[in-house]
Structure formats: structure tokens, C-alpha cells
Amino acid sequence: MAKMTLYETLAQDYIHRIQIGELPSGSRLPALRVLAKQHAVSMTTANKTYAYLEATGWIFAQPQSGFFVSQQAVETETPTMPTFKAAKRDPKSHTPTAGYNSKVDFFCPLGTAMLAPSLQPKTQLKRAIKRSTARLSDKMFFYPNIQGEQTLRRALAAHFYKEHFAFQAEELTITHGCIDAVRLALETTTKVGDTIAISSPCFNGLLDLLVSLSRNVVEITSTKDGLDLDKLEQEMKAQRIQACLFNSTHMNPSGVSLSIEQKRRLAELAAAYRIPIIEDDVYFELSHYGKPPLPIKHWDHSGYVIWCGSFSKSLAEGARVGWCLPGYYFNAYLQRQKLENYGVNYLMQTSLAEFVYSGEYRTHINKTRLNLSHQIQQYRQLLKDHLPDGVRISRPEGGLVLWVQLPQLRGDWLEQKAKAEAIDIRSGANFSTHSFYQDCFRINCGWPLDEIDQYNAISARTQLLRLCELVTQYFSPQKVFLEEPKIQ
């Protein structure tokens, strides 16, 4: 884990004490001056500590009385993860009726994993675009640099250096978003019919991509402790896979993050067997507490790890600007880019570089981490309060989604019923070629629960409560309303 500031470290200590029950709900906390004296820190650090805890929902301020521990959600078990024998499978043969990434003709804040526009720095980003436009040169009238504009590559290298992840701007390429970076990596390192190791469950968008590229998959068991790396090494050693494709931090949908030990070992396995690991790290910066964990790429000394990311989840999906560190495959990767496109939008690249250099992107990220931490806690509490006993809810330390499990639930039925009421969720069937996750569903938590705006006339809270009602009805003794999902 990258080093945290003093106030973040102190805040994490208090969070831990709250979580283990040492500081129960309603407990009064030391006054600011007492806190500063107890921990030998400045008043500024003490203020920042309580501000962090308050912003993330762990404590609240009572005027004239001080600070108190908030009412915390009753903890639930996390979803169970199956263990199974690894085997090559054609994802096209196991896709749900509507595909792994099913489409809807309406918008719902619970469906797509994204930040609400209200949480985005729209004014600051517009200013950055305006400043960039004012400085436009004749380069605007030529095709962009295929590798990506140097100003953006340098801005990103400087930005991630401050997160203790160092690389040179010359090693980076700019892409049309993270999924485009991953696609190019797959096409550079594998061919039609090759087999790719993925986690189970796996982000449905990656499964759809693998279907479109006619690649086979081997699903590797993933639990709350991470990937089964012994099983992965067996597949590598037997030469049954040609590449790996993993989320590594705040996995979608499970929320699991690989440990430092696992990330280091993955880099070592890639080097030992000369098998590329494509790292989809789009949630890298959305750690809810402190600084983001380092990626697998940090421990890669051979170049066999291909690191992919973008602004899509942290800033603006519509920008469609991502990046890739192709490592050993740099020349082949760049050659494929040259064959397929004429570069990424020049104005958007220079505007985002301006936004990063100004420091406003880092300010936005720091604020977003606090917002997401608070929202995830709110969503978990609502689900716990309104779903039947036995519900299991993920406890992600970052990212935008929650993974919910109710034994014996038909997730595909729930998805269909919800969509009939313009509520968009993702059932567990969308995240695997196996049927292990039929009792699970995924929801986006990037939207403030009570926000009503031009994008959704009904708040996320209202839609989530209705979803909970549908689940409760499913488990009611009568079940007179139930229908089997229609197979098309």
C-alpha cells in the first residue's frame, strides 16, 4: 500500500477501533486539542483527521458537544466464492440470452458502474478545456500523435509518480479508454482461438470483449483472499493459456483487491513463464481510504505485465481517454495502434493534461474517495435493513460497486423483473461462463442515494427500496406473482 499521510493513518486507526467495537456507536471522541496532545500531532492534523472521519460517515459533530461515533451498519457476511476445477471454455457458448453486458433502453443509476455527474468537477474541467482551447496551435489541424500527445503522457507520469508508481512518459501510450487499451493488448499478444485466464467472477464487459475476439477462457477461482495462484501456475506450466486478463484492485464485481504478495507473485509468474498479464486497473485511483494500492505493474521487471487504465471511472466516461504501459510488447502494441486508428482526440488530450497539471484532478480524486466511502456505507446499510436475513454483501475498499448474494435467489429473474420497472441491475449470470453466481447481483453505488436530476426522475434510494421489495416478494411463502425468466 502506498504511504498514507499522518492524518489518514490516524483516521484509519480510529476506523479500526470502531470496526472492532472498541468505540461503539454514540461514543464521545476526544476534543480536538486532546486528540492533538494524545497523538503528538498539530491541530491542523487533528482537524483533518476528524474531517476525514466525518466525511466518510464514521463520526458526526454535535454543536456545542463535540464529536461522536456514528451509528454503524450491522455487519453482514460477504458473498461466498466457489472453488472449482479450471477448464477451457468458449464464453460465446455460455453467454446469457442478452449477452454478458446486457443493454437497456433507459437510464438507471444502479446499472452502469459510474460516478454521478454531480460528483464530477464540471466547472473546473470546463475551465481546463477553455484554457487548452485558448492555447491551440496548428497541431490541432493535423492527426494526433499515434502514441499520444507528449503533454498528456508527461502529466500522467508525474501524477502517478506522486502515488509512488513511477514510469517514463515515453513508455506510455494513449488509447480510446481502458477497454480499448485491453483490446489492443489482447490482439497484440494472442490470436483467435487462444485461451485467456480470467478471474471468477469477471467483469461482464471483458467477457463480451473476449467473445467478440473469439478467445477462449479459463476461469481462476477468486475469493476474498484473492486469486488461486497455485491453480493459475498449473495452467501456465502446462501451457494451457496464452495470456491472463485480471482486474487487480477493487475488482468488478466482487470488490476484492489483490494483496501486495499476490501482485508481486503474479509479476514473477509472468516473467518465469513468459506469459503476458493484462492488468485492467480502471479502478486504481478509487480507493476509499488513503492512497491507492500499487498495481501488479509496479513489481514487473520483465515487461510481461501490460497495465491499462483510463479517466472513465475516476473522471468522465464520455472523454474516452485511456492509457497503457505495454512493457515488453511496446513496439508491437504501437504498431497495432498505427494500423487501427489515427490517434486520440487532440483537444481532449491537451485539456486533460491541463486538468492534471493544474492539480484539480488530484483534488477531485481525493474528494471522490471520501464521497464513495460514505456512499458505499449508506448503500450497504440500506440493503442490510431491507433485504431478508442471510443476505451477504461485499465490503470493498474501493471502486463503485457492491456484490450482493442471497442464497436460492434467481438473479436472472430479479434482473428481468427489475427492468420491467425501469430498474437496471446486473445479475450474477453476467459475470461468468459458469452458473456459480445465479444467486448474486451487482449494483452501482456511484450515485448519491437521494439525488434527483435530469438523468433519473426517481432517486437511487427509491429504486433500491423497490428492488428490495421485489427480493422480499420472491422469498414470500405465496410467491403467486412469480414467473420463470423468458428464454429468447
| Buried b / exposed e along 95-108 (16+ C-beta atoms within 10 A) | bbeeebbbeeeeeb
The length of the chain is 488
Whole-number pLDDT of residue 65 = 78
Whole-number pLDDT of residue 479 = 55
Whole-number pLDDT of residue 429 = 93
Whole-number pLDDT of residue 275 = 98
Cell, residue 485: 425468466
In the predicted model, is pLDDT for residue 61 greater than 90? no
Whole-number pLDDT of residue 71 = 62
* Element (DSSP H or E) covering residue 161: helix 150-161
Cell, residue 56: 466518510
- The 10s digit of each residue's pLDDT in 405-457 is 999 999 999 999 999 999 999 999 999 999 999 999 999 999 999 888 677 77
- The 10s digit of each residue's pLDDT in 79-128 is 998 888 989 999 999 988 778 887 778 888 999 999 999 999 999 999 99
CATH superfamily of 101-116+367-474: Aspartate Aminotransferase, domain 1 (3.90.1150.10)
For residues 244 and 102, give the distance between their C-alpha atoms in angstroms, rounded to a whole number. Answer: 24
Q: In Å, how far are 132, 158, 211, 304, 452 from 359, measured between CA atoms?
A: 15, 11, 40, 32, 30
Could you tell me which residues come within 8 angstroms of residue 383 by beta carbon, excluding any fewer than 6 positions away? 391, 393, 402, 404, 464, 468
Whole-number pLDDT of residue 136 = 81
Number of other residues whose CB lies within 10 A of the CB of residue 153: 23
Q: For the chain, give the percent of residues with pLDDT over 90.
A: 67
Supply the pTM of this predicted model. 0.85
Average pLDDT over residues 477-486: 51
Higher-pLDDT residue of 110 and 5 is 110
pLDDT band, residue 270 (cuts 50/70/90): very high
6-69 fold: Arc Repressor Mutant, subunit A (1.10.10)
Whole-number pLDDT of residue 73 = 55
Q: In the 8-state DSSP scheme, what is residue 453?
A: B
Average pLDDT over residues 59-67: 80
- The 10s digit of each residue's pLDDT in 354-404 is 999 999 999 999 888 878 887 888 899 899 999 999 999 998 989 999 999
Whole-number pLDDT of residue 487 = 39
Average pLDDT over residues 293-309: 96
Higher-pLDDT residue of 21 and 231 is 231
Mean pLDDT of the chain: 90
Backbone Cα Rg of the chain? 23
The CATH number of 118-361, from 3.30.930.10, 3.60.10.10, 3.30.200.20, 3.40.640.10, is 3.40.640.10
Whole-number pLDDT of residue 99 = 82
Whole-number pLDDT of residue 366 = 86
Domain borders along the chain are 6-69, 101-116+367-474, 118-361
